Structure 1
Amino acid sequence: MTVDLTPVTLAEKSMLSNLYQLYHYDFSEYTSEDINQEGKYDVNIDFIWEGDKRWRPYFIMISGTIAGFVIVLLENLDTDPDPTHVIYDFMILKKFRRSGVGYAAAMQIFELYKANWSLAQMESNTPAIAFWQKVLKDYTNDHYTETFRDDARKYIQTFSTKE
């Protein structure tokens, strides 16, 4: 099984938007978000393509099939020539979870950018916390920092892929 990251183009925006519906569905377990009167989650991803160069959307692919997506944000790119890179959103379709796809995709995304990184997970999303702790322990040889922000109720991990 080969996992590939493919940049999402403007022409593929509707596919990513559809995946965001599934992402919000999965996430509603932690956010208690409800669907709207049309039976959808209120999702607008236009900001990714509105001239803001900080956003890097990727499909996570397996043999030409979409298995999920990852959105990287180059935080403060407009004011800092060396921005912190943030995993803004990360989603693996359920049929591909616990198969190593997410792990492989995470490792690849960190290899794409030599940068300072920051990741965050909601306190209640224990599967995501465990996933990222495992990935970061392996990727950094346990050389990352984790803090808990009580005000945001989030775990935040920071590390660097710079040489």
Structure 2
Amino acid sequence: MEIRLRPVELIHKEILFNLYQFYLYDFSRISEEDLGFDGRFEIKLDHYWEDPRWNPFFIYYEERIIGFLIILFENYDTVPDPTHVIYDFLILSKYRRKGFGKLAAFQAFNLYQAKWKVVQIKTNEQAIHFWRDVVNQYTVGQYTEVFREDLNKYVQSFTNKTARTNCANGER
């Protein structure tokens, strides 16, 4: 099973916009966001190509896009060693629970040796379970988790600066 991440070029912005419709649809059960009058969820994406802190990637399997992820370099403009955050993450329903998401996350982590954070809203139990499992496997248990009451979110934090992880199987 080979997963590849490819940066999203500006010329593919519409494809990312279309994928965000699935993401926002899935997330609407938590966010309670409604469709716009045109039958689509509203999302602005231009900042992904205007601001170097944002890094969108398509997730490919067998030359097909099966999802996307966004990596944010938090405080990139003020801190020489920014924390990297998985900001948004989508695996299409057909490919869920088959290991594709985990492999994509491992590859994302392996792109940068950095401090990392992954954040989930308290009511998104599927995401909490998924990210706890992924981060635990990737770090071999070497991470911290806090619940931010002010944000109503769980945050897993770790660093991969001292070792490279094999993205194929998660071994260190």
Q: Deviations over 1:103-156 (max 9, x none)?
A: 000011111100000110000100000000000111111110000011211001
Specify the alignment match of 2:37 in structure 1: 37
Q: Secondary structure at the match of 1:86?
A: strand
Q: Which ranges of 4 or more aligned residues in structure 1 deviate by more than 4 Å?
A: none
Does residue 128 of the first structure (1) align with residue 134 of the second (2)? Answer: no
Alignment gaps of 5+ in structure 1:
none
Matches within 5 A, 1:20-59: 20-50=20-50, 52-59=51-58
Q: CA deviation at 1:42?
A: 1.0
Matches within 5 A, 1:110-149: 110-149=109-148
Specify the alignment match of 2:4 in structure 1: 4
Number of residue-to-residue matches in the alignment: 162
Specify the alignment match of 2:170 in structure 1: none
Alignment partners' CA distance in 1, 2:158 and 2:92: 26
Matches within 5 A, 1:82-121: 82-121=81-120
Alignment partners' CA distance in 1, 2:36 and 2:7: 30
Alignment partners' CA distance in 2, 1:108 and 1:39: 34
Q: CA deviation at 1:36?
A: 1.0
Q: Secondary structure at the match of 1:27?
A: helix
Alignment partners' CA distance in 1, 2:44 and 2:21: 10
Q: Deviations over 1:40-83 (max 9, x none)?
A: 11111111112x11111110000110010010001111111210
TM-score by length of 1: 0.97
Q: Secondary structure at the match of 1:138?
A: helix
Alignment gaps of 5+ in structure 2:
163-172
Q: Secondary structure at the match of 1:73?
A: strand
Specify the alignment match of 2:61 in structure 1: 62
Alignment partners' CA distance in 1, 2:117 and 2:3: 23
Percent identity of the aligned residues?
51
Alignment partners' CA distance in 2, 1:151 and 1:7: 33
RMSD of equivalent CA atoms: 0.7
